[in-house]
Amino acid sequence: MYRSIKLNDKRGQYNFSLAPYINLTVATTDSQVKNINLICNRPEQTLEKCIRSTAWIGSAVDSKFNQVKFMSVVNNMFDNRKTTARYQQNGVSYLFKVDKVSQRIVLEIRP
């Protein structure tokens, strides 16, 4: 579905367009990932790809990422009409946010 992404050993922020209206930002410090942000603009058009992307990115960050449990947390967020869901596994923090004002969904990952 997506191409592989290669980072060099420099510090900085890398921006990638994964699909129309879906962007990935990776911030690094000394060959270590500081954070990853998946930004899905126009959720009414990108929701399905955005949800699939969160599982793909979670698995790329942590090979033991529990996609079923993460999706359960996100589904509970939608069922309870909340705008944020937090999930933590193996020392990695995941924050899933729906920003109704700017019309986007953001997944923040902090390894």
pLDDT of 35-77, one tens digit each?
Answer: 999 999 998 888 888 888 888 888 888 889 999 999 999 999 9
Report long-range pairs for 16-22 (Cβ below 8 Å, ≥24 apart): 18/53, 19/46, 19/49, 19/53, 20/45, 20/46, 21/45, 21/46, 22/46, 22/49, 22/50, 22/53
Amino acid at 58: G
Q: Give the pLDDT score at 10.
A: 66
Instruction: Give domain limits for the chain.
Output: 12-110
Angle at the Cα of 105 from the Cα atoms of 68 and 20, rounded to 5 degrees: 100
* pLDDT band, residue 1 (cuts 50/70/90): very low
Question: Using CA atoms, how far apart are residues 50 and 98, in angstroms rounded to an integer?
Answer: 12
How many Cα atoms occupy the beta-carbon half-sphere of 64 within 13 Å?
5
Asked if the model's pLDDT at residue 88 lies above 90, the reply is yes
